Every structure is written in C-alpha cells, then in structure tokens.
A and B are shown apart, each in its own frame.
Chain A
Amino acid sequence: MLIVFAGLSISLAAQKVVTGKVTDENQAPLTGVSVMVKGTTVGTLTDIDGAFSLSVPDNARILSFSFIGMKTSEIEIGTLTTFNVTMEVDIGMLEEVVVIGYGTQRRGSITGSIASVTTEDIQELPVIDVGSALQGRATGVVALASGNQPGEGVTIRIRGRRSLTATNEPLYVVDGIPYDGNIVDINPRDIKSMEILKDASATAIYGSRGANGVILVTTNRGGDFPTTVSYSGQYGITSVLALPDLMNGDEYYTMKEVGGRAFQPEEIAAHDRGVSVDWLKLVLDKGYQQNHQLSIRGGSEKTGFALSANYLNERGVIKTQDFSRYSFRVNLDHKISDRIRVGTSTQLSNSVQNWGSNPYGTALAISPLAEPYDSEGEMVYRPGADPLLWNALADYEEGNMVDERNTLRVFANIFAEVDILKNLTYRMNYGPDYREYRRGVFQGTNSISRQGGLPRAQKEHRRTYNYTFENILTYNLTSGNHDLNFTGLYSVQKSTGEYTNIYAENVPYETQLFHNIGTAETVLEFGSDLSEWGIMSFMGRVNYEFMGKYMLTLTGRYDGSSRLAEGNKWGFFPSAALMWRVNKEGFMSTQELFSDLRLRVSYGVTGNTGIDPYQTRGSLTRTIYSFGGNAAFGYAPGTIANPDLRWESSATLNFGVDFGLMDNRISGSVEIYQTNTKDLLLERQIPITSGFNSVMENIGETRNRGWEVNLITRNLTSGEFSWETTLNFFGNKEEIIDLYGTKTDDVGNEWFIGQPLTVWYDYNKLGVWQLGEEDAAAVYAMDPGEIKVEDVNGDNILNQDDRVILGSDMPTLTVGIGSRFEYKGVDLSFLLLGVFGHTIYNSFEVSNATLQGRYNNIDVDYWTETNPTNKHPKPDGSMEYPYYSTTRGYYPGDFFKVKNIQLGYSLPNTILSKIKAKKLRVFINFDTPFIFSQLADNLDPEVYGGEVTSDVPSTRMNSIGVLLDF
C-alpha cells in the first residue's frame, strides 16, 4: 500500500474535515469506496472521481478504506487532513467492481452470470483483436477462427446458438454504446476490462438485443494521477501450421493413369524428364505481424485524459494478403462542477485489408507436372496442359490483382452526468458511429481470375451511420440494512446504411487499377441501396440488497423495432434474479473451508430481431431481359410478404454457485442453465412449386442446456515463487424442440427434433465396393472401386431417404486451461484449448481428392484392383468427382491445441529507477505451437461452421515484444 502525504493543514476544531481521493493501482478513481472511521458509524462513500470528504470527530484515530475486490486499508489519521490512497487489488477476492449494463456492481453483489477478462489477460497476448483474447479464457464463450486471412478475427458464440437464421452474434457494448459489426476495429490494448453477460438477468437490460449474450468492453481512462507514458511493441513471424501431402509428379501420373484420363503430350514429356513441382512451396511464404502502441494517461483533479495511438501491420503467408490498421483514441473526463461531469470516449480507426486472391487454391489444383517458368525464366501463364489452370504465381506479379478493403470508422460516446439530487444522477450518452467501407478490385489481364481476358475493375462503397441516444437515471438509497438502487433508461438507436457499386470491364490502361473506371469500355454491373432500421427502448432495473446477504434484481425492458410489422413491433422482456451470500450467515462463521460462498438463481426473457430490414414486406426482385437489343428490365415476385413476423424470444433459467475455498486459494463458480427460445425466426425452405424457395417465419422452438465450471487455483504463493492456474470447462447441448407446432422433423431444411440446429445430413459411407461384390453393387448400378454407402431402408434404391444424421458442427465440450508461474521477475504462462464432441466436414479433402486426374490431388489411399482400401474410391477420369464424394469428408472435430506459451521478464525496481521507468517487461511468445487433431497432416480443424476449406492455411506465430511504462 502506498500512501501519499499531500497536505499538512491542521484543524483545531472538535470536528475536522478530511478529504482525499482513492484510486486503484492504475491511478483510476475508485467509486463507492467505503471510508469509515474505525470503530464508529461515521463514514461516507467516494464519488465518481474517487473523492471523498468526511467530518470526523477529533478523537478519531484510524480511517478505514474498504472496497469490494480491494484489500482493506487502514490509515492512522494523526494530524493529516488529506488522504490520497491507492488501493491494492485483493487478488484472492472475487470482489472487484464489475461493469454491468448501465452501471457497475461489486462482484460479490452480482446476481447474474458474468464472466470477466481482465487487462492482464488481454495485454499479455499478442492478439490483434478483442475476440481472440476471449478464446479459452472466458467460460461459456466459444470463439473460433472465422478465417485465416490477415485481419479476419474470430466468430464468438456465447452459450451456443439459439437462432437458426436471425443473428447469433452477441451484442458488443463499448463504453456504454452498442457497437455494430465485428469488434476487430477495437484495439485490444486500449481495453481495461471485458465482461461477458450470459444469463437473462445480466442481459435482460439489453432486452431485444441481449439474447445472444452481451460483451461489455471498457476502455482505459485518465484521472488525477501523474502522467504515464507507455509503449508496447511486438514483432512476430508467422508460418503455415500444417501443409497437406499432395501428390508429386510421379504419384499424380500414376493416379491419372489408373483413372484412365487421357494424357497430353507435354505431361508425358514432363514425366519422362522427372518433373515434380511443389506448387504449395512456391506460393507460400513466411508472414509477419507487428503491433506498436503508445499511450499517455493522466490528468488533474478536474480533467482526466487517456490518449493512445496504435499501429498494426500483418502480412499473411500468402504474400499479397495483408492487413494494417491505425487507430487513435481520446478518452476525456471533465468536472464542470461538483455536480456536473462531461466526457467522451472517441476512437478513430483506419484499416486497410489487402484481401488479395487465393493462389493457394490454384496451387492445390495445378499439376505437379506443370512448370511455372520457361527455360528463359519467364513466367508461363498457362503452365501444364490444362487451359483452365492459370499460373498460381501470376497474382504475385505487381499490379496484376488488387482487392483492397478500406474501413474508416469513428466511434464515440459523448456523455454528460448531473447529480440532480444527492442520490439521483442523470446521465446522457450520445454515441455516433460512422463507418465508411470502400472495396476496390482490379483484375488484370494476366491475373488468375481473368486468365488472359479483359481486365476488370470494381469499386464498392458502403457508408453506415448509426447513433445511440440514451437517458439514464440512477437512484441510490441506503438505509440501515437496506440498499436500493434504481436505474431507468430511455434509449433510441437508428441506423442508416447506403451502398454503391460499379463493376466494369476493359479499362484502357491497367495502372489505373480501379481509380478511373469511367474509361472502361463495358459496364458489367452498377447499383445502389439504402437500408434503415431503428430501435426504441424503455428499461427499468431495481437492485435491492438486504443485510449484505440477500440480493434481488428485477429488470424490465420494453423494446420496439422497425424491422417488424405494425402490431408486432413492441416486445416486453422481464427478468428476476436472487442471490444469497451464504458465507455471511452466522452459521458459516465457525467454518474455515469457505471463504466465499454465494448461490444465485435467475430467470428472464430476452429477444432477438436480428433479421434484415424489410422482411415483413413482399419484395420484388429485379429481372433482366432484352428484346432485340432493347433493355427489358422487370420485377418478379422475390419474397413472400409475412406481416406476422414477431420477436423471437429466449427464456433462460440459470443456477450458479460462486465459491472461495481455503482463504480463496481455490475459487470459482459452477453454473447450470437452460434457455428456451421460441418463435424462432427461420428462413424456411419451402417447395419451389410455390414459386419461392424460402420464407422468413417464426416457426419453432429450441433449447440450450449447459453447464459451466470455472476454477482458479493459487497453487503456490510462498515467497518469490507463485503459480496460478485457471481452468474453465463448459458443455452445451443444443436441441430443436419443435418445428411449426407439429413436433416433426423438417427433412427438406435438415432440421430434426432433438438434434442441434445444424447437422451434417448425408449418406453413410461404408467403404468402397470391392472385387467380388459386383452383384451387390450392381443393385445400385455401382461398380467395384466406387464408394459404398448404406442403403438405410434396404429398398435397394439409394435416394434421399437413405441419408442419415452424421453429427453436428457444434462442440459439446470446451476446455480451457491457463497457468502462470512467476519467480522474481520471470513469468511463464501457457494456455491450452480443447474442443470436443463435434463433427467437421473436411471439404478441403473432398474438393482436393476428386481423383479425376485433371487437377492435382491430396495423396490419399485410393482403391485399385490391387489395393482394396475402403478409404477412397478408384480414380475415374470421366467424373469431376466420385459418386457420394462428400461422404468421405466427415471427421470427429475434436482437437486439442496449445494456443499460446509466453515467457517474460520484468526488470527489477532497482534497475528501473536508474532508467527512470516504472515498468519494463520483455517477452517471447509462441502462438499455436502444437495442435492435436484427427485430420490428416494435423490440418487445423478450428473453424466456425465446421467446414474446413481450401481458403488460406492456418498459421502459427513466434514473436517477441516489449512493454515499457514511464
């Protein structure tokens, strides 16, 4: 504990006024700290700036500062009148202040289910987006890679999925303002904490938008403390995690021969010369990632500031793919008077993603007998005999292929707060969010996509303006054993999105890229669009606490959405939660095992309208035809009008136990929950004989049941050595309960009662028809060497009735294990992630093992008369892919990964003081060093949606970094 003696004024009155300010270790003000004269009832709470003022009796001796989550400090008063106190986090206590929606709460008083990720977790990881930081760290959160392109980030699902077609994206709220879209634009190093609200009690205050969980992001702020300048930087090299084993020249030649596909003279000549080109090696390279951040925080009694600038640059293993982002943040707080405060959080970010093309896909397909360069070293654009396969390296030539995606975004929260009465505070938030997205594409004549055709250019613009306007009233009342807190909200959110696009062919000179499309000879496409939606809400919440032992939270939110038709626009979403702090009971005082024990139960309803605007109207689709060269545009019925669309709602029942054992050496929580979602918004496929393929409907009911265990153990704390382990595991089972009120399966949509929302539904592969089975095979018009699938109903016909459920893409068990060792200045941490129980579809293997002989192939074990394998069928040059080809692609998705190992060293204070630094830490980090999966070649099965594709290979990264505070 650090005490700063800031003033020495002496009062001789019988009562004296002491003032001061309480901050945390980061110099951020602590609100609500209880300041008491020890042994008396004289006391007060610190205000929003951590300041307090208290008249104390002259004979008062000790001032006690206590705050949930902090170690209580006691300071002798003596002659001092000003106390600037820095409180230390009580690591063992699960009692820190936690951000909840529209306010904060002590961890100990929280009635709902909330997982937190702290600054430390985020800062230590070399992640470039917020989502990745949650991976394996927050219970109940599944964060899986959405793609391997630089800058792609992860897809997050909290406690499974509820909706089939409405969004399953959680709601992100950054500094109080809903953040639309992927949070990849938020710089993780600006983040102070993230809270994941999971149960209905926690999310109900976000009503219609809380059904998929809420992630609250709080960014760093300034305060009344000496200015701190921090730099953190990191550089890493990325490389491909695993490469598939493709056929070499000889293997390819043999396969083609077996498949009976005709050879071209060049191929035979190349084979005779022993040519075998490893195209993957030619297109893949090492990538890198660098990230630099400078931040300055500090302020005065009246004004606090936090400024930061960040530069991130990442280049992929496909060297034309990169991502760079500049972001700047200004967070300001100013006190106009004792009762009025204003401030802002503003972020400006500009990112450029060079999407590039995918020469990897071409490299997988191109024949190993085809050579990329001629004898003079010039690129051969159409190597090999196949007229469709362009040289995979063509897009690496400067200016041949550009796909640049630029996003500029300003996201702000401007707020004012007025203490209307002593206990009544009014807060207004205004959050404008402006996004400009521009995509420019240029495909030169020699690019892979144009293959010698005319060059094409495209420019696409999206402009989105959202605003959120909120009015919040907060009322606090403390009387004896009663603590009452009321929060009321009126909020409006509106979004306007515009889109323009033009796509043209035959630009006269290629150096213009997409910047002078007007010179193109032919317009291929042009268009524009406007999309608007709005939400209006009223919310009220009561937190009541009795004797510090019994807590009750009641909330209700009334939401209206523009996306629904008249009469169905409004929905009401209530919730209630109870919590009992068992260890505060008298009967617990005699035991020493539990240092903390709390029981929670909550029930609530949340909603979802994450559907596109205008779905309730029957829309028309533009058609294109012509008569003798005259344009004949038309409009055909496009969607069926459905004015009955209504809110999808989810009711969640949650039980939770929070505990601390042996003086919090072991702490954690256990939760079980059940979420029933009804009026599921579904894009339902219907018989096309109606003229429509699908319709949006409120149709069915789903249930998610799950459990979560979170354990933190401080294994060793003695002396200079400490060892802490975090374990979290959770399971979730997703089930369709009802469809259309009929409780029957909908095979056409592949929805089945009792099964998860998405299943793999296909024929069951038994093996390969073998020699000697000719007659049995002939029943199905099959031959030996072809894939043998199960005739489930035994009717001697293979048709859609023989398909079976082969698994689901949603994991049933997720395990995250993190551990951290510290000895003197050295720290070592690692994070393990295991995901189990799901089935993935390896489309990578299916599409690269067609055994057709036209394209190169994964070196699979294929059937021949002399190799009676059951794995892959006989090559057949006459078929683009074998019959029942997809049945080969289903694998258990279970995997176990070492996500991250990090070794760091922090310089001791003795050296730091010499260089006038507050902190200096260096580290080396290994990202995804090991992976164990059931896929051949240990290809990375971690992908959202469960389909492993040929897109861009997964990577690992080794990096070094430094963190410096002045």
Chain B
Amino acid sequence: MKTLKSLIIVFVLIFISSVSCEVLEEEIISGVTVDTHYGTPEGFEDAVNAAYERLRYFYGDEDGCEITVFGTDEYTNGGHGSAHAINKYEAGLNAESPSFWNPWQYLYIGINTCNAVIGRAPDADIPEAEKNIMLGEVHFLRAHYYYLLVEFFGPVHLTLTETTGVETEANRTPEDQIYDAIIDDLEFAIDNLPLTQSEFGRVTKPAAQHHLALIYLTRAYKSFAQADDFSNAANLAVDVINNSGHILLDDYQQIYNLADANGKLSHTNEQNNEIIFSVQFDINPLLNPRGNETHLYFRPWYEVYDKGGLVRGLGHGYGRPWIRFRPTAWLLENFRPIDVDARFNKSFQIVWYFNDLGGIPAGASIGDTCIWITDEDLDQAKFDALQARLPYANIFSWNINDIDESWSLWMSDLSVTNNNINIFPSPWKIDDNLRPSLNEQEGSRDFIVFRLGETYLIAAEAMLGRDGNATNAVEYINTIRRRAAYDGMEAAMEVTAAEVDLDFILDEWSRECFGEQSRWLDLKRTGKLLERVRAYNPDAAPNIDDHHLLRPIPANQITRCTNTYQQNPGY
C-alpha cells in the first residue's frame, strides 16, 4: 500500500509541474494584431486592400442609393421599401434613419483604416517606390470617403491619424479645412500613382485627377471657393481627356453591356477603356459577401402585372424586383427625341415577355408580349388598337401627355393605392443576369464611379463656370452627344454654345449617368437641388427646403459623444 501511495504522490507532482504558469499565457494563433502585421510586406498590402473594402458598403448598397438617388429630379419612390421619407423629405428623414447612419459609420471605419495605413507606412518593410504607389491609392480613398461625408453632412469630424486608444469626443471641422485635406490627399495620389495599374480596379493617376477635378468643381460653387477652382477643375479634366489613355467607347451601350465581343454573357466588358474607376464586385461568392445590389432596387414589380405566365428568372431583364426607385416623368422625357438620342432605348427595358407556361392566358405563348410601356401619346382608340394587336399584354405609356389616363405611369394620385406605381421602365445598366439563383441579392457587376464620359461633363461644367459662357464647353458636350446618337443622327444631336447652360449640362449629365449614386451630389454642388426637385419630383416638391441641403447627423454619433456634437440645423 505504501508503494501505491508514493505512486499517487509522484503522479500528482508530475501533473502539477506540467501545468505550470503557461496556462495563463495568452497567445493568439488564429488571428493577427495591428502591431505585428502591418509592418510586414504582406501585412501592409493587406492593410491597403482593406482600405478599399468600404467602397462596397456605399456603392451598390441600399442606404448609399437612398441618399443619392431618392429626392432628386431623376428618381422618386416606387411602391416598396421603408425609405420613402428620404425621397419625400418627410418626417422619417431624421437623425435616426439608418439611411444616414450606415454610410456615416461605414465611411468612418474606412477612414480609420486609411489613417492606419498612412500612419504605419514609415515602418513598413517594403520598397519605397511600391510603397508610394500603395499610399497613393489609400490617399485617394481617404479623400473620397471625406468627399462623401462633407457633401452629405457639412462640417464633420476630421481626423488624419489612426485611432489607437479610446476616443469619445469628436469635432466638427469647418468644410473648407476638410476640402484642404481632401485636396492634399488627392495631390499626393496624383504625384505618386501610375497611369495604369496591373490589377484592374486599383486607383490610378487619372482617377485621382478626375476626382480632384470634381473636388475643385464642387468647391468652386461654395462660399470658400478659390478663384482658380473652376480653371483647376477644367485643366485636370482636360489632362485626363487628352493624356490618360482612356478613350470613349464607340457605343454608349457597351459601357454597361454585360456581353463580351462574342455576345457571350460575361463580366469581361466591365474592364473597358472608358472606365476610370469602378468599385469591384465579383462573381465568386467568396470574394463577394457584400455584392452590388442595385439590380434589386431599380426594377419594377413586373412579375405581378401578368395574369399568369410571367415569372422572375435568370435571364436578362427578369431579375428580382425590390421596387425602390421609380423614374420621374422628367427623367424619361429628358431623353427625347428618343429616335435621335439612342440612350433611352439603350438604357431601358420597356417590354416583358411571357416566360412561363404556368397560368399563361389561353391562346398566349411564351415569347408573346406581356407588359409593354410605350412612349406614345395614346388615346382610347389607339389604346384599343394596340390592345387588339397585343391581346395578352398590359399596355402602359410613359408619355407625359397621357397623365391621368388609366394606362399612364404618371397618374396624379400616384400613391401606393395605384397599381401603376410599381411599373416603370427598368434600367439595363443594373441588370445582373449572372446571379446564381433567382433570389440572390449579392450582384457581381462592378459599380462605375468615374468614367471618361463624366470627365467630359466635368470639363464642360468647369469651363462654363470659368468662362461664364459655353464657347469652350460646348465641344465637350457635343462629343458626348454625338457618341449617344443613333447612326446618322450625330448632327441632329449637336448643340450650340448658346443652348448650353448649367441646366443643360445637368440634363446631359442625367441622360449620360442617371441613377449612378451621384445625382443628389451633382444637384447640391450646382445649387440646383431645391429648384429641380420642386420642378420635377412631385412627391418631394411640397416638403423640400433649405435645411435639406445637409443631411442629419446620425443620432448615434450625437448621443455617443461625451462632448456636444451639434446637429445640423432643422433636424
């Protein structure tokens, strides 16, 4: 028994010594920390990549769309969604709306990542030349995040250093200082970035130039404008047009078309010569947890207008509809004459065909027209004749003259009581037929932020501002317009300098880039937001006023600050 006892004691002693103090040592094996990782070459690259990520939280995102598309002259609300107040400038447009909180928080998270990259760069073990290119990218991104914040919210918190401790206070830096910081960042980017990058989607020098042109142009209208803002903007834009290597595509449709040269469906055409900067989304779901969701938002509720025989599918034009953004009558009328300017027909789906035998009306076959939205000015006789020709079709008209006809998209009581609120032409540019399944939300189309067509418009707007007339600007407008023309209609598309004013440029901007998450900013920049919303967006017109030029500071920001964080006036 003695042996047993000693055995036990020995066993215990061995045990105790084997579980010494290492029990209390904490070693992170599965993760990495800022201090250890960012200094390595791989870690620094990881940090740079991370700085891009937040782009996906704004572009192609529902909140990002709501605050840029709604409440403009182009778009009003469809029947669905919970953010109609953002369009209508109603009570729900307030500090507690997630439509503002989400962009606010996501952009600041992005800014802190940029600050970390820039602040830790001196210690990163990576060749100087490579490092500076990467830093150029990150400076551009930080400038872009601040541009969005300052334009939406006015004087906001400005910090250019990484947060390493607990911060519970925030400032409201005057707008002009934020613009100075943005310009510094973009100048750094221009100085350090190459004309092209080996990986498509990385920031290039032309992207930074285009952005800085937009920044000067934006500041040019402000109270703290510098005298040479317009001319700086014009010079930068012209430099991009002449020297960047980017060219306008021959066919407007090719900018957005998903088909490659062989007509095969793919995303390869998203890397074309006109694109200066686009947010990258990916067909591989592992690389696309947060996809481009615009394909949901701009689509009408086509599938409920049939009496059977039309279902959502994977083909072009039959995607999942969330019925958020409905074009205003102005947006569509702005494309006329549509037999001269090809951009209406190249931009909008107006026909849906039967695509399912289930419940298809007796006599109809797959491929017959189920919904047609014509631009024609119909009267009852014409309507009846059309209906006789297309007996199974639901016929609508977007012609403004037909207002209050039963087939009109623009009935005066176009509230949710009216079925017609959920039907409207659907933009092709958001269509995403490569989604793997019917209800997939995460789209894989890249989101174009800057393209050369817009550089022309920036140049034109800047020259108009600089010169006070459109003598120099008109050629940039006409270049865009000739490209947009049907073959043989180029001359008809041309305008004279006398026809070009700020409103005309904004009209052209809409024809070229409608629905691309910049309209609210364009209208605000040019001081035309109130005027044009009142004129063209009947849902928003009664409510919009001056205080809406700034968005409300999210309540979370105000309540979490230990110092007083002032709300914007009127909220």
Contact = CB atoms under 8 A, between A and B. Distances in A.
Interface of A: 259-265, 336-337, 339-340, 385, 387, 416, 418, 428, 430, 450-454, 469, 471, 490, 492-494, 505-506, 522-526, 528-536, 560-563, 569, 613-614, 616-620, 623-637, 640-642, 684-693, 695, 697, 747-749, 780-782, 797-800, 877-881, 883
22 contacts: A261-B416, A524-B285, A563-B26, A614-B31, A616-B26, A620-B31, A623-B50, A625-B55, A626-B282, A632-B280, A634-B45, A635-B32, A636-B51, A637-B34, A637-B163, A640-B165, A686-B166, A688-B556, A691-B111, A692-B109, A799-B96, A799-B571
B441 to A, nearest CB: 10
A453 B31 contact: no
B293 to A, nearest CB: 15
Given A452-B438, A530-B30, 20 more contacts: A262-B422, A265-B307, A619-B31, A619-B33, A624-B286, A624-B289, A624-B290, A625-B56, A625-B280, A628-B199, A633-B46, A633-B49, A641-B33, A686-B560, A688-B560, A690-B108, A690-B167, A691-B111, A798-B91, A883-B91
Interface in B103-119: 104-105, 108-109, 111-113, 115-116
Interface in B469-486: none
A532 B167 CA distance: 30
Contacts, number: 299
B282 A530 contact: no
Contacts of B34: 618, 620, 637, 641
A619 B33 CA distance: 5
Interface stretch (B16-24, B224-232, B250-258, B333-341): B16-24
A880 B418 CA distance: 17
Contacts of B415: 260, 878
B262 interface: no
A878 B416 contact: yes
A951 B221 CA distance: 54
Contacts of A337: 1
Given A492-B23, A635-B50, A636-B50, A686 B168 contact: yes
Contacts of B29: 530, 532
Contacts of B84: 878-879
Contacts of A533: 26
Contacts of B384: none
A175 to B, nearest CB: 20
A529 B108 contact: no
Contacts of B440: 453
Nearest to B321: A387
B193 interface: no
B451 to A, nearest CB: 16
Contact of A262 (B46, B79, B555): B79
A525 B285 CA distance: 8
B49 A623 contact: yes
Interface string B540-571: 00010000000000011111110001010001
Contacts of A529: 30
Contacts of A800: 95-96, 555, 558-559
A635 B290 CA distance: 16
Contacts of A623: 49-50, 53
Interface of B is mostly: loop
Given A262-B418, A620-B34, A879 B159 contact: no
Contacts of A416: 8
B416 A262 contact: yes
A628 B559 contact: no
B79 A451 contact: no
B223 interface: no
**Which of B34, B37, B419, B543 has the most C-beta atoms of chain A within 10 angstroms of its own C-beta?**
B34
B412 interface: no
B287 interface: yes
Contacts of A691: 108-109, 111-113, 115, 162-163
Contacts of A878: 77, 79, 84, 415-416
Given A627-B200, A687-B560, A878-B415, A453 B437 contact: yes
Contacts of A265: 307
B280 A627 contact: yes
Contacts of B31: 614, 619-620
Nearest to B115: A691
B163 A628 contact: no
Contacts of B289: 525, 624
Chain B interface extent, by class: 35 or more
A563 B25 CA distance: 9
Contacts of B167: 686-687, 689-690
A620 B32 contact: yes
A536 B24 contact: yes
A635 B561 contact: no
B28 interface: yes
B418 to A, nearest CB: 7
Given A522-B436, A531-B30, A799-B555, A264 B52 contact: no
A618 B168 contact: no
Contacts of A617: 26, 28, 33
**Which of B80, B94, B421, B439 has the most C-beta atoms of chain A within 10 angstroms of its own C-beta?**
B439
Given A614-B26, A799-B555, A690 B163 contact: yes
B359 to A, nearest CB: 9
A492 B12 CA distance: 13
A490 B96 contact: no
Contacts of B422: 262
A182 to B, nearest CB: 24
B24 A561 contact: yes
Given A624-B289, A691-B115, A340 B557 contact: no
B339 to A, nearest CB: 33
B26 A689 contact: no
B304 A264 contact: yes
A336 B23 contact: no
B380 interface: no
Nearest to B417: A260
A684 B559 CA distance: 12
Given A749-B560, A879-B84, A625 B105 contact: no
Contacts of B418: 262
**Which of B1, B284, B416, B543 has the most C-beta atoms of chain A within 10 angstroms of its own C-beta?**
B416
A451 B419 CA distance: 25
B118 to A, nearest CB: 13
Nearest to A499: B30
Interface string B52-70: 1101100000000000000
Nearest to B555: A800
A620 B304 contact: no
Interface in B276-322: 280-290, 303-304, 307, 312, 320-321
Contacts of A748: 556, 559-561
A689 B166 CA distance: 11
B33 A628 contact: no
Contacts of B527: none
Contacts of B165: 640
B92 interface: yes
A795 B303 CA distance: 47
A99 B110 CA distance: 56
Contacts of A536: 21, 23-24
B4 A631 contact: no
The 9 A-B residue pairs with the shortest CB-CB distance in the complex, in nearest-first order: A691-B112, A634-B49, A748-B560, A628-B200, A453-B437, A634-B50, A534-B23, A636-B50, A627-B199
Given A618-B34, A634-B53, A877 B559 contact: no
B92 A336 contact: no
A880 B353 CA distance: 30
B391 interface: no
Interface string B85-98: 00000111011100
B201 A628 contact: yes
Nearest to A505: B436
B82 A640 contact: no
A637 B162 contact: yes
B43 A635 contact: yes
